[in-house]
Every structure is written in C-alpha cells, then in structure tokens.
Structure 1
Amino acid sequence: MSSPAYGVDGQHPGPASGASADPSSAGLAPIDPLAPAPGGVYSDALVEVRGLQGPRPRRTLGMIRTLHFDVTRVDGRLRVVHRVPPEEFHSGLAALVGEELFGPGWLRGAELLERIVTGIVVSSDPDPLTAWERYYRATLTGSHRGGVGGHHDLAPVHQHARELLTGGSVLELGSCFGFLALSLAAEGRRLTVSDIVPGTIRLLGAVAERLDLPLDTLVADAADVPLPAAAADTVLVLHLLEHLDEAHGARVLTEAVRLARRRVVVAVPLEDVPDETWGHLRTVSLADLRDLGQATGFGFDVHEHHGGWLVIDRAPMTLAWSEHPGPER
C-alpha cells in the first residue's frame, strides 16, 4: 500500500490538486526561526519535528519512510522524525529534504519544506541561535560537498554573481537565508540585504552579529525598498522573479534599477514548468529577460550559466544580446 501525500495544510491534495494553498490564507502563523524547541522538539501549527532517539521503530500504516525521515500525521499535524547526521546541517539540508520527501510527491508546498528545515535545525540545540550559527558556519566555510549555497544547486549561481559584482557596495533584494550576502560581507564588501519576511531578516541579522560580520538588514517588499536612489554599486536579484507574478516582477526590476549606482544582476532558473517545491509561481525565459532589459532603457546583457542572467549597466548604450558569460566590467 502506498503512503499518503500531504500538502501545505496537512491534507491529502490528490493527484490533480495543483499548487498548494497559500499558508497565510489557512491562518498559519509565520515561521519563527528563533523560537526554542523544548525537549528537542520543534512544533508549530503545521509540523512537529524531532531527531530520532534510539533505534528506528517499525514502520506503521500510513507512514512515509525514507532514508532519513519518518513522516506520520498526528492530531492534524505532520510529525517528522529525522535521522539527519550533524555533517548534513548546512545549506544543502533543504535539498536533502526536497529530494527525499517532496521530489517523490509525498509532501508538497514550499511553506511545508521551509518549516521542516527550520524544525530540523532548531531542534538540534537548546539555543536556536546556536543551532543556526553552526548551520551557517558549515555553509560559509564550505565544509560540505556543496560549498556556499549548496541548497538547490545555488553554488555556481552564487559564484557567477560574485564574478559580476562591480564596486564595493552590494544590495541584495529578496535575500532569503543570505548565504551569499554573508560570504561577501566576510570578504569586506559593504552589504545590505532585504526580504519581505520579518523572521528571515531577524535570523540573518542575529547570525551576522554572532559571526561578527557587518550587515545592514531591511524588511521590505523588493518592489518598494525604503532606500534612496543609487543606494549601492550593485543590486542583486537572484532567484526571486520566479517567485513573483509578472507585474510584481517588473516592479522589482524597476526598483532595482533605481537603487543601483552601477549595475543590476538578475538570475533565474530556466525551467519548463515552475517548481512548486521551491515556491516558484512561473517560468522566466531568456526571451523574458531580454524584454525586461529592453524596458529599462539601459545597456544590458542576457546569457545562460546554470540558469538565465540579465545584467544591466546604468549607462545608455546599444542593446546587447549574447550567449556568453557577462559583460566586461
């Protein structure tokens, strides 16, 4: 008998249910990444996550069992018991959860994945900030196979973005976990990060302080950032547009151009269909990036490198359309 599949609300979505429901519409409280996990158990309205203590029990009816996880439904919530070893606590953890539980279709929805990853991390230490500090240190030192940004194959994306930076100050819009921003801060660049999720920004600020890294943080919609024009030499918009509808994405690019003193760097995954595991709402093609670049009125370059790239330089010039790595700096 096959195991059940659960969507973001913990219900059986069925084989043709489409994307999972917006968690805010279900009345779920936002994720608090710094909430304690008493007794090594992370618990919220949707999931309960704990590490396995002792031998692995016999599989029960309706249980989802993978190499690292046992998932059951208890009292309206998903109970996730894991045996993820400490060496896997780094940015590649989300990919591990995604591959085992979401790729096969057992679980669905980016909100659910985020809560499970948060639960695995914070349940590993009585002090949630200490748990996150270990997670970030392992990621930033590259002490795992994926290097910085190992989550969802972002390591080559982050490396290419680093190669495209110009000037000393950087603003990242929609920074999420902020792995690249922290690594750039460690290299001596002046970093400002923004994200619309307050808990994410609070976590990033707290971790930066623990790591003694200078980092300015803002809670803001990437289309409406409370900073003056030309606030940073380079503005990064990395793997953000696919999470937004077309109109919202266009506003974000307009805002990025306003905020950039010298350059805007945009990266998107090139997908045939949006990957709902990571919260993607739409696909963005190289042709879409070219249209966005044309609309700015500035010189730009579009190319492919582990996804699609749009690089806008704030100097009016002839349209550039290329298939090679980015423009000369």
Structure 2
Amino acid sequence: MTTVNADAATPTELNVLVRPLPDYPDAERAYSRSSSLLWRRSAGAVEILHPWTERTISDSVMVASLSELVELGVLSGQEQFEDAAVQMICSSAASEESAWRAYYLNSINELDNGTSPFSPVHRRARSLIAGHEVLEVGCCFGFFALACARDGHSVRACDISPGAIDLLTTASASLRIDVDACVGNALALPYPDDHVDTVTLIHLLEHLDVQDTTVAVTEALRVARHRVVIAVPFEEEPTEHFGHLLRLTEDDLRLWADRVDHAGAEIFTDHGGWLILTPHR
C-alpha cells in the first residue's frame, strides 16, 4: 500500500474519475495500489482503476475496495465515496443498464448465499418479519426489499432519495421481483395508519439527528400492524463516508423503547443492535 503525499491537494479538493482497469494495460507502473484498485492523483483529480466486471461487480466488493481508499486517505467524505461508487458500478459493464442490473443481481445473490459481510444482518431481519406485508423504510438501493419480495412477501419500500427509488424501480422491473417503491421521508411516512404487517428500519437511524430518531420510530409504529424491526451498527465512531451521524449503543435502543408508545419491546445484539417493537393494536 502507498501512503498519501502530504504535499498533494487534499481529497476534498479533487474530482474523482473511476475507470475499468482494462483501459490501462500499463497501469501498474503509473499508479499506486490498494489490495484491489489502482489509483493516482493527476491534474486536480483522483483517478481510480478497478477490475470489476458485469460478472463480479456487487455492493460488497464496491464498498470494501472504496473503503480501503478512504483508509488510505485517497477518498474523503460521503460525497466523494458515493461519486466513486456510482462511477465504479456504471463502468463495470458495456452499458449503464447492464451494469446496474448486474450490480443488483450479484448483490442480492451474495446477500442470500452468505458471501456478503452484511448477510447476517439481512438473514436476521428477514427472520423477524411478522405477517405477509413488509415496508422497508430508508431502503437506499433496496436489496432488502427485493430479498423480501423474492421470499414471497408483499413489499413496499421508501427512501428520501428520488435517485435511489428510480434505481430500485428499474431493478425491480428488470429482475421481475415486485417491489412497490416510492419517495418518502422516515419522519413523515406517506402511508396510512396500520398499513402493513411489518415495518423495518435497517441501518437507517444512525443517519439521523438524535431528535429525529424518535420521530422515525414513532412513524414506523403508526404504520405497522404487528411489528417494527430496527437494526443499527455499533461503531467506535460514526462512519463518515457512509453518512453515519450517530454512535449508537444498547443504551440508545433502550431510550427509543422508553420514549415511544408500544405494546412490547425486545432488545438484543447480533452483528450490531436490534430493537423489536410491537405496536398497540
């Protein structure tokens, strides 16, 4: 691994350009190396070369390879990380349409077969669903929603990002996995009371301000008929490039359970923290 030149421009001042490795057959001599990527700073930009193809691109390899560049100081902050991620995905196949389809298919397959580091969280969350109808709040790309739909559930999903919802809607149609996705804010869910059996907030609350976490949990309880499933990471420090704002512990789960109106709560640890709430019905 190569250390960052202290005299170079800081990462936040640089544009990010991500390209597939085959375009640069002599790249070994001109670039520094992480375990899976090549990179260099040149002409006011960070250039990144990746080996991922339509067969190999997935969420787990994208996150792992770019997180290593964050550790090296090559990338900094959520905006740069997400910019690099989108470019990496889109350049992994001959067309953006093919690239996104491959990214989605490979990612949900890895989550399902256990080869993704996030698989244990998905497995536990899917095992906690009560009833047939599921709403994933803060779905981002919507891998969990798609997995639940593939399990046979009737699935809705919402996220505050219109771009994420567009990607999920396209992937749902392309993969023929039915998910009803819409733009929605976790603090004011666009659904009526008692709308679905289970509402999930999987690794969402760490992205919110402290005051907003209670609002989001209250909204989930309003919409859920039988269960609210909450999962959060336990981190030494919030991961900036993932957009995490809060460092959460079991004490925070207990505080949420104490602050909202419910008919029962269960708190446990399994690859992070879990809070399972039963609404009053």
Distance in 2 between the 1:301 and 1:171 partners? 20
Write the distance in 2 (CA, Å) between the matches of 1:279 and 1:10. Answer: 19
Secondary structure of 1:141's counterpart equals helix
1:213 Cα offset (Å): 1.4
Q: Secondary structure at the residue paired with 2:234?
A: coil
Q: Is the 8 A contact 1:59 1:65 kept in 2?
A: no
For the pair 1:68 / 2:32, whether they are aligned, the reply is no
TM-score normalized by the length of structure 1:
0.77
Higher deviation after alignment, 191-200 or 276-285: 276-285
Q: Which of 272, 289, 293 is 2:236 aligned to?
A: 272
Q: Distance in 2 between matches of 1:86 and 1:145?
A: 19
User: Are 2:136 and 2:156, in contact at CA under 8 Å, matched by a contact in 1?
Assistant: yes
- Report the AA paired with residue 9 of structure 1: T
Listed one character per residue, the Cα deviations across residues 208-253 of structure 1 (whole Å, up to 9, x for unaligned) are 0001111111112111121111111100001111111101212111
Structure 1 residue 144 displacement after superposition: 9.4
Count of aligned positions? 276
Q: In structure 2, what is the Cα distance between the partners aligned to 1:227 and 1:136?
A: 26
Amino acid at match of 1:252: A
Between the aligned partners of 2:88 and 2:94, the Cα distance in structure 1 is 12
Q: Does the Cα contact within 8 Å between 2:12 and 2:76 map onto a contact in 1?
A: no
Identify which of 200, 223, 232 aligns with 1:236: 200
Gaps of 5+ in 1: 12-45, 317-329
- 1:236-315 pair list within 5 angstroms: 236-298=200-262, 299-315=264-280
2:46 maps to which of 60, 63, 78: 78
Taking the TM superposition and a 5 Å limit, the aligned residue runs for 1:34-183 are 46-52=15-21, 53-57=23-27, 59-60=29-30, 64-84=32-52, 86-142=54-110, 146-147=114-115, 150=116, 153-183=117-147
Report how far residue 129 of structure 1 moved.
Answer: 1.8
Please say if 1:3 is aligned against 2:26: no
Percent identity (aligned): 34
Q: Aligned partners of 1:215, 1:196: CA distance in 2, in Å?
A: 16
- Give a deviation string over 1:172-195, Cα, whole Å, max 9, x none: 111111111101111221111111
Alignment check: 8 A CA contact 1:8 1:111 kept? no
Write out per-residue CA displacement over residues 71-109 of structure 1, whole angstroms, 9 at most, x where no aligned residue: 233443322222235543112123322342113333221
User: Are the counterparts in 1 of residues 136 and 157 from structure 2 also a CA contact under 8 Å?
Assistant: yes
CA RMSD of aligned residues (A): 2.3
